[in-house]
Structure 1
Amino acid sequence: MLNRAKQSGTHAIAAILLILGLITAPTVHAQDENEDAKVKGRIQKLINGQQPKSLEDVVALEEQVTKLVPDLMKATVGIRVGPAQGSGVIVGTEGYVLTAAHVAGRPNRRAFIILEDGTAITGETLGLNNTIDAGVIKITQEDWDPNNWPHAEIGNSDSVKLGQWCIAMGHPGGFQPDRNPVVRFGRVIHKYHDVVTTDCTLIGGDSGGPLFDLTGKVIGIHSRIGPELTHNVHVPISAYKNESWDRMLAGERWGDAPRAPFIGVRGSSEEGNCLIAEVIEGSPASVAGIKPNDVIIKFANEKISNFDSLILAVGIRRPGEIVDVVVQRGDEEVALQLTIAQAGGVNPEDSEGQEQEENSNDDKDQPDKSDDSRSRLPLQPQLVDEQDGIASEKAVDLSLQSVSWIRSIMMLKPAGLYERNHVTIRQAFDKVIEKSGECTVRITSGKQSLALGTIVSEKGYIITKASQLKGDKVRGDIECVFADGSKRPIEIAAINEQHDIALLKVNGKRKLVAVQIADDVEVPIIGSWVITPGLSSTPLTIGVVSTKPRAIKGGLLGVLLGESEESVFVERVFPGSAADRAKMNRGDVILSVNGKEVENRQMLIDLVRSHLPGETLKFKIKRGEEQVEIDATLGRESDVFGSEALPRGDIGGPLSERRSGFPAVFQHDTVVKPNECGGPLLDTNGKMIGMNIARAGRVSSYGLSAKIVAEVITSLMAEAEGDESADKDE
């Protein structure tokens, strides 16, 4: 109890404090609420697609994505229907899985749904809308418990805006037991009533996987890809609602897939612009008023620099879409409107409502013609109609023999306004580069750019990707180019073949700034930013971590496999491959590998993939009526395909020659060129959390973790300095 003699003074102080409290406490609380409201409001604007303007915005996006990813991965599933593989997403609590129509194939088929942990459960395909590539599968597992199974919520694709951020998940190449659903992060770059297009890179096996908004709701389902890395097409979630949903649940199958977009012009890029040489009579271009000798300078508000860029601009559009076109006609600019048609002369509305016979007994007995090939082939824009017999080589033929021109364009073309890699987005990461210092260099030989390098010691040591310093790429002495443009000769001091890292030593005196290695980050968090610095103050490119680290053994047998109910057999042997050297033949039935009986095609793929290039496997083959044993020494993809992408029409751009045989790498979705490997991967604190070690495919680049890189640096520097000491002693 208070002493009464002191009460009067105490009361006065208490009264003052109370008054202050009554005045100041609500004010402080209001300030906190205002700050919280500002932060939440800013995050909401970022979620809706506003460009990040500061490093704080960048970090806020990262926090939102990494918070969502674990639960979204649980709802993302692999799907196997017959020999076809794809992806899907469980929605709601009733056991429905959304996927693409071309993955499901047809109604009433048995399906296997593979959960994140590898558990396979049973399902049955329901109805399909082939016009927009939407399909549904029902889980039939007996122990289905809606309260304990993961699922995602359905969002609203009608409210999706251009530039809106989104997360794509799926199983590119099919489900792999040692790999989580692969995460990609990007933005909506095009929207039409029956498609959403993003720069979240996809490939075969992703078909049917989910596209999420940044509240974690499904806004689309992966369908197919186009000729550019940014052309990734999704079915909007609205296609699964209302009447369509009821029809699919009833097992109906309807519609035909629309053909390629068609406008009806011929031209050439030889003049350095998009000069129109011919306009097909009655075509959309003709109806719109485009004339021979017009130069198209804008198409759908996109600047057109040449005929090749027009092809790319058409490729992303949908039949029925109305676009604005601006042409230069003499000294005058003429604004026109053009309605995209379908190749073959079919109007988009004609295919709507064309229904196939649903669930007929005859259909059930038909061989399944569906597979994932549609997702593996580029959406081929047609500027002219093949059926008219007039075809521009560059407009129609996007086969392997003619992808080099489009590959060059897509790798050099600046990112569009709504793309993740647009310069205004990358500029929000400038503080990351400022924090890291000038720790990145470019390695060159003559006029050839070989790789990026990372400064790891003030003593003049730099690391880079070793395999980039070999072969015909090296045309003379190797030099190092610094951020200020100065050059220094360098020598290879030591090499670690296992991880493909070379330690270089700069000749001549120069003060170097070594990268800060994040020794507290053993494994980067899935969904977190990875920043690739170049030589300027703005990052070269940005991306997110897609998977946890895993071994990329990647031994290649070099066959195309077929599968029946009874066996797995060789359909094609690639020249120069391990199978070719081992004298495998088309039609050989593969019975076992290293004594392990082959049960299905995927099992064989996994068995081979689990071994390194250079390992010899023993195959038991049935050839005709006899059984033979064959020893095959596995090779690499580059043995057969060089640095080109695999022959699947995915047009992923040039790949690193060494992109497999790594003990542990994490996958990220950054698009880097092979000669941009060897540099650091930074986190938002400007610290090195990894090293770009390979461009591996359309959806994947590989990074070595900072922990591995640090261990290799220590080993190589000890080796190099030991050699220097020995040289001095001599």
Structure 2
Amino acid sequence: MIRAALTALMALPLAAQTASKPAPPTEEATIERFRAHAKARPVAPQAPLSPEERNIIRRFKEAKSSVVFVSAIVKGQDPRTLDIAKIPTGSGTGFVWDDWGHIVTNHHVITVEDQGLRIGEVQEVEVTLADGKTYKGRVIGVSFAYDIAVIQAFAPLKDMKPIPIGRSSDLQVGQSVLAIGNPFGLDHSLTRGVISALSRKIDTGYNSSILNAIQTDAAVNPGNSGGPLLDSGGRLVGMNTAITSTSGSSAGVGFAIPVDTLNDIVPKLIARGRLEPPRMGFEVFTTAAARQTFGITRGLLVMTVDPDSPAGRAGLRPLEVDASGQVKSMGDILLGYEGRALESEGQFMAMLEVIPPSDKVVFDVQRDGKVIRIELNLKDTKAGKKVKAQPASI
């Protein structure tokens, strides 16, 4: 019986065998069928935040209003309209230092470079607060050796909350830290990590180094420069300054200037504008200007000399030009200071900050094709002379 039934089934045409199977739905039919089930998903119950998460959230909210976005500005001619316009040259992060509207950031944030050569630093900046409002600011103090700049922001003092200050000498490797900044222009970004090492040495770019720097794995990228590094209590323990990376972006090796250094240097910059001791009485061209205008690739070209100063009394010679701007005589070129070669005005300023000069200093000077030595007696600097707040004023 069974064998006969199978034989009969096999004898049926193929079409008859498959006619009893329903055809599978098309892709379009499946899509339309499932569209009918579109609706919002139910929200799963939220798990309580951990104590660590709650602390991070609280510290960020507390510190956010103390962190600002800094845009460096130079004035130039708009090539389309020929009008004088503000041209952004760089940006970074800063934080409110005190109750008087002083902002602290990195010196390199306000430095203007051209093809790798420093051509100066901006005097005007724009400071954007956490509420999105932007105000004018002026650079009132800089340190080459420590890569620190202080800005006076002309914003309502009531909207500027000073950041709490901690102590970096008490830090320990493994301690949790938070970094707030504006990486790639993304304002008020928070990253977290730990202190990876202490007492690191980082270069500032002027043949000087910052000692006791803090190493952290909290992500730090371009734009984070000048931003605060906080401990778990929300206190400032460092200023994010540099990274080590083969790609130029965060590789988990960032460095911060310790807050103990900031607490020592920043008040001096606010009070005096600079760290260098008594004024020597001369100005030099920036390295870029001397190279581009006069083809000088070695040493510092003296631009002006105050006759009533140590430099003037020592006979240092400035560049001289006639009424039409033509060079009458080339100024002295400073090749060395106290036995060390001079490579840039920034390096020289950093040297003066790190090692204050004694009563007498000696320069190796190129004059009329010969190298001579000139001694400046700084002890007879007259009282009342103030240091000019210009990059190349010494």
Which TM-score band (shorter chain)? 0.3 to 0.5
**Larger relative contact order (Cα-Cα within 8 Å, sequence gap ≥ 6):** 2
Larger radius of gyration: 2
**TM-score, structure 2 as length reference:** 0.48
**TM-score, structure 1 as length reference:** 0.27
More helix by percentage:
1
